[in-house]
Protein backbone atom coordinates (compact mmCIF):
# COMPACT_ATOMS: atom_id res chain seq x y z
CA UNK A 1 0.00 0.00 0.00
CA UNK A 2 2.90 2.41 0.76
CA UNK A 3 4.33 1.88 -2.72
CA UNK A 4 0.99 2.52 -4.40
CA UNK A 5 -0.17 5.56 -2.45
CA UNK A 6 2.82 7.21 -0.85
CA UNK A 7 1.37 10.71 -0.83
CA UNK A 8 -2.37 10.10 -0.45
CA UNK A 9 -4.77 9.69 2.45
CA UNK A 10 -7.44 6.99 2.47
CA UNK A 11 -9.99 6.64 5.22
CA UNK A 12 -11.73 3.44 6.34
CA UNK A 13 -14.64 5.60 7.46
CA UNK A 14 -14.90 9.06 5.87
CA UNK A 15 -14.96 11.78 8.50
CA UNK A 16 -17.43 14.62 8.44
CA UNK A 17 -14.73 17.29 8.66
CA UNK A 18 -10.93 17.33 8.55
CA UNK A 19 -10.74 19.39 11.75
CA UNK A 20 -11.35 16.21 13.78
CA UNK A 21 -8.14 14.59 12.71
CA UNK A 22 -4.71 14.70 14.29
CA UNK A 23 -1.44 13.27 13.05
CA UNK A 24 0.52 11.10 15.45
CA UNK A 25 4.02 9.88 14.65
CA UNK A 26 4.04 6.11 14.56
CA UNK A 27 7.67 5.31 13.78
CA UNK A 28 10.51 7.89 13.86
CA UNK A 29 12.82 5.73 11.74
CA UNK A 30 10.34 5.58 8.85
CA UNK A 31 9.16 8.21 6.41
CA UNK A 32 5.53 7.53 7.18
CA UNK A 33 3.15 8.80 9.82
CA UNK A 34 0.09 6.94 10.97
CA UNK A 35 -2.92 9.19 11.51
CA UNK A 36 -5.71 8.45 13.87
CA UNK A 37 -9.31 9.55 13.95
CA UNK A 38 -10.43 10.77 17.36
CA UNK A 39 -13.46 8.44 17.41
CA UNK A 40 -11.23 5.42 16.88
CA UNK A 41 -11.44 5.06 13.11
CA UNK A 42 -8.08 4.32 11.55
CA UNK A 43 -6.65 6.32 8.69
CA UNK A 44 -4.27 5.05 6.06
CA UNK A 45 -0.68 6.14 6.21
CA UNK A 46 0.67 9.29 4.52
CA UNK A 47 4.26 10.07 3.61
CA UNK A 48 5.81 12.70 5.86
CA UNK A 49 7.90 15.68 4.87
CA UNK A 50 9.67 16.12 8.17
CA UNK A 51 13.02 16.43 6.36
CA UNK A 52 11.85 19.56 4.53
CA UNK A 53 13.71 22.67 5.66
CA UNK A 54 11.76 24.87 8.05
CA UNK A 55 12.95 28.48 8.41
CA UNK A 56 11.85 30.46 11.44
CA UNK A 57 12.24 34.16 12.14
CA UNK A 58 12.14 35.69 15.60
CA UNK A 59 11.52 39.40 16.16
CA UNK A 60 11.34 41.27 19.44
CA UNK A 61 9.17 44.26 20.27
CA UNK A 62 8.46 46.41 23.29
CA UNK A 63 5.11 46.61 25.07
CA UNK A 64 3.95 49.23 22.56
CA UNK A 65 4.93 47.18 19.51
CA UNK A 66 8.03 49.26 18.78
CA UNK A 67 11.21 47.59 17.53
CA UNK A 68 13.95 46.78 20.03
CA UNK A 69 16.79 46.88 17.57
CA UNK A 70 18.70 49.81 16.10
CA UNK A 71 21.28 49.44 13.35
CA UNK A 72 23.89 52.12 12.71
CA UNK A 73 26.68 51.80 10.16
CA UNK A 74 29.89 53.24 11.59
CA UNK A 75 31.96 54.94 8.91
CA UNK A 76 34.48 56.70 11.17
CA UNK A 77 38.03 55.32 11.60
CA UNK A 78 38.37 52.53 14.14
CA UNK A 79 40.65 54.62 16.34
CA UNK A 80 38.19 57.50 16.67
CA UNK A 81 34.82 57.61 18.47
CA UNK A 82 31.76 57.76 16.16
CA UNK A 83 30.26 61.19 15.49
CA UNK A 84 26.75 61.45 16.90
CA UNK A 85 24.40 64.30 16.15
CA UNK A 86 23.76 66.37 19.27
CA UNK A 87 20.03 66.43 18.54
CA UNK A 88 20.03 62.63 18.81
CA UNK A 89 21.84 62.75 22.16
CA UNK A 90 19.40 65.33 23.53
CA UNK A 91 16.45 63.32 22.30
CA UNK A 92 17.61 60.16 24.05
CA UNK A 93 18.42 62.06 27.24
CA UNK A 94 14.89 63.41 27.27
CA UNK A 95 13.45 60.00 26.39
CA UNK A 96 15.41 58.41 29.23
CA UNK A 97 13.85 60.81 31.72
CA UNK A 98 10.35 60.17 30.38
CA UNK A 99 10.88 56.43 29.96
CA UNK A 100 9.89 56.61 26.30
CA UNK A 101 13.03 55.93 24.28
CA UNK A 102 11.20 55.41 21.00
CA UNK A 103 8.40 57.96 21.20
CA UNK A 104 10.21 61.07 22.39
CA UNK A 105 10.39 63.93 19.92
CA UNK A 106 12.88 66.73 19.54
CA UNK A 107 11.50 69.98 20.93
CA UNK A 108 12.37 73.49 19.87
CA UNK A 109 14.40 73.93 23.06
CA UNK A 110 16.80 71.23 21.88
CA UNK A 111 17.65 73.28 18.84
CA UNK A 112 18.08 76.45 20.92
CA UNK A 113 20.38 74.72 23.42
CA UNK A 114 22.64 73.31 20.69
CA UNK A 115 26.14 74.82 21.00
CA UNK A 116 27.04 77.19 18.21
CA UNK A 117 30.62 75.95 18.04
CA UNK A 118 32.18 72.58 18.64
CA UNK A 119 35.76 71.39 18.69
CA UNK A 120 37.62 68.56 17.03
CA UNK A 121 41.13 67.11 17.17
CA UNK A 122 43.63 68.52 14.71
CA UNK A 123 45.80 65.39 14.88
CA UNK A 124 45.44 61.64 14.57
CA UNK A 125 45.09 59.52 17.66
CA UNK A 126 48.72 58.81 18.68
CA UNK A 127 48.07 55.16 19.53
CA UNK A 128 46.51 54.47 16.12
CA UNK A 129 50.06 53.90 14.87
CA UNK A 130 51.09 51.80 17.82
CA UNK A 131 54.65 51.03 16.74
CA UNK A 132 55.40 54.72 16.27
CA UNK A 133 53.69 55.44 19.58
CA UNK A 134 56.00 52.96 21.36
CA UNK A 135 59.03 54.49 19.65
CA UNK A 136 58.04 57.96 20.89
CA UNK A 137 57.48 56.62 24.38
CA UNK A 138 60.91 55.00 24.37
CA UNK A 139 62.62 58.16 23.12
CA UNK A 140 60.66 60.78 25.10
CA UNK A 141 59.73 58.75 28.22
CA UNK A 142 56.23 60.26 27.91
CA UNK A 143 53.60 60.07 25.16
CA UNK A 144 49.99 61.08 24.69
CA UNK A 145 48.04 57.89 24.00
CA UNK A 146 44.43 58.80 23.17
CA UNK A 147 42.03 61.67 23.74
CA UNK A 148 38.37 62.46 23.12
CA UNK A 149 36.59 65.79 22.82
CA UNK A 150 33.21 65.77 24.59
CA UNK A 151 31.50 68.80 23.13
CA UNK A 152 28.19 68.02 24.83
CA UNK A 153 30.01 68.37 28.19
CA UNK A 154 32.47 71.08 27.06
CA UNK A 155 35.52 69.08 28.08
CA UNK A 156 38.34 66.94 26.73
CA UNK A 157 39.64 63.73 28.29
CA UNK A 158 42.70 61.64 27.46
CA UNK A 159 45.29 59.11 28.57
CA UNK A 160 49.08 59.35 28.81
CA UNK A 161 51.78 56.71 29.12
CA UNK A 162 55.10 57.38 30.85
CA UNK A 163 58.22 55.25 31.31
CA UNK A 164 58.42 53.70 34.75
CA UNK A 165 61.84 55.08 35.70
CA UNK A 166 60.99 56.05 39.29
CA UNK A 167 58.22 55.67 41.85
CA UNK A 168 57.63 59.41 42.22
CA UNK A 169 56.14 60.89 39.07
CA UNK A 170 54.51 64.18 38.19
CA UNK A 171 52.61 64.40 34.92
CA UNK A 172 50.98 67.64 33.77
CA UNK A 173 49.02 68.82 30.77
CA UNK A 174 49.98 72.34 29.76
CA UNK A 175 47.11 73.98 27.87
CA UNK A 176 46.54 77.43 26.43
CA UNK A 177 43.34 79.04 25.17
CA UNK A 178 44.92 82.27 23.87
CA UNK A 179 47.88 81.20 21.71
CA UNK A 180 50.31 80.92 24.66
CA UNK A 181 49.75 84.41 26.04
CA UNK A 182 48.77 82.51 29.17
CA UNK A 183 48.69 78.80 30.01
CA UNK A 184 47.67 76.36 32.74
CA UNK A 185 49.43 73.27 34.06
CA UNK A 186 46.78 70.66 34.90
CA UNK A 187 47.91 67.56 36.84
CA UNK A 188 47.10 64.14 35.40
CA UNK A 189 45.82 61.31 37.61
CA UNK A 190 47.66 58.01 38.02
CA UNK A 191 45.89 54.83 36.91
CA UNK A 192 46.90 51.25 37.60
CA UNK A 193 48.75 49.52 34.79
CA UNK A 194 49.46 45.81 34.17
CA UNK A 195 52.86 46.72 32.69
CA UNK A 196 56.00 47.06 34.78
CA UNK A 197 57.75 49.18 32.15
CA UNK A 198 55.23 52.04 31.90
CA UNK A 199 52.46 53.72 33.89
CA UNK A 200 49.14 55.17 32.78
CA UNK A 201 47.78 58.63 33.59
CA UNK A 202 44.37 60.14 32.94
CA UNK A 203 43.59 63.82 32.36
CA UNK A 204 40.67 66.08 31.55
CA UNK A 205 40.11 69.80 31.23
CA UNK A 206 37.12 72.03 30.70
CA UNK A 207 36.75 73.86 27.39
CA UNK A 208 35.61 77.42 28.14
CA UNK A 209 33.41 79.53 25.92
CA UNK A 210 36.03 81.44 23.95
CA UNK A 211 36.33 83.16 20.58
CA UNK A 212 39.69 81.60 19.72
CA UNK A 213 39.93 79.27 16.75
CA UNK A 214 42.51 76.93 18.30
CA UNK A 215 43.32 75.32 21.66
CA UNK A 216 46.83 73.91 22.12
CA UNK A 217 48.33 71.61 24.74
CA UNK A 218 51.37 69.44 25.42
CA UNK A 219 52.46 66.92 28.08
CA UNK A 220 55.22 67.21 30.69
CA UNK A 221 56.69 64.46 32.85
CA UNK A 222 58.93 65.09 35.89
CA UNK A 223 60.97 62.18 37.25
CA UNK A 224 64.33 61.97 39.10
CA UNK A 225 64.83 65.71 38.74
CA UNK A 226 64.47 65.55 34.92
CA UNK A 227 61.67 67.03 32.84
CA UNK A 228 60.45 65.18 29.74
CA UNK A 229 58.04 66.56 27.13
CA UNK A 230 55.66 65.31 24.49
CA UNK A 231 54.84 68.31 22.28
CA UNK A 232 53.85 66.44 19.10
CA UNK A 233 57.30 66.93 17.54
CA UNK A 234 57.40 70.59 18.55
CA UNK A 235 54.07 71.71 17.05
CA UNK A 236 51.88 70.85 20.09
CA UNK A 237 48.55 69.04 20.07
CA UNK A 238 45.64 71.20 18.92
CA UNK A 239 41.87 71.40 18.94
CA UNK A 240 40.26 73.48 16.23
CA UNK A 241 36.82 75.03 16.07
CA UNK A 242 34.34 72.93 14.12
CA UNK A 243 31.19 74.76 13.03
CA UNK A 244 28.59 72.07 12.38
CA UNK A 245 25.97 70.04 14.21
CA UNK A 246 28.15 67.01 14.96
CA UNK A 247 29.93 66.37 18.23
- Judge if 47 and 130 occupy the same domain: no
158 occurs within a structural domain = yes
Nearest CA-CA partner of 206 in 242, 172, 229, 177? 177
Rg (CA), the chain: 34
Q: What is the mean pLDDT of residues 99-120?
A: 56
Question: What is the model's pLDDT at position 38?
Answer: 45
| 161 is a domain residue | yes
**Residue 136 falls within a domain, yes or no?**
yes
Task: Choose the final residue of a domain: 14, 34, 56.
Answer: 56
Q: Specify the number of domains making up the chain.
A: 2
Give the residue numbers spanning the domain of 160. Answer: 118-242
Strand boundaries in 38-183, DSSP class E: 46-47, 118-121, 142-150, 155-163, 170-176
Query: Higher-confidence residue: 100 or 82?
Result: 82
pTM for this predicted structure? 0.54
Residue 103 lies in a domain: no
Do residue 52 and residue 162 come from a single domain? no
- 168 pLDDT exceeds 50? yes
Answer yes or no: is 186 within a domain: yes
Answer yes or no: is 92 within a domain.
Answer: no
Asked which of 118-122, 150-154, 158-162, 240-244 is least confident by mean pLDDT, the reply is 240-244
Q: Over 70: is that where the pLDDT of 58 sits?
A: yes
Give the pLDDT score at 94.
Answer: 73
Amino acid sequence: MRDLLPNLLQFTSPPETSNYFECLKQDVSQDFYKDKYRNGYSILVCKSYRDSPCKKTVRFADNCGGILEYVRIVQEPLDYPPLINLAVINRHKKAAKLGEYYNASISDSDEENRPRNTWKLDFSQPASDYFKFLENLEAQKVALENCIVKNEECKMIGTIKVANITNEKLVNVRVTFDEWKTFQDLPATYQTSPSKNCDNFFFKFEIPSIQAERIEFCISYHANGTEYWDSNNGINYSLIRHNNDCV
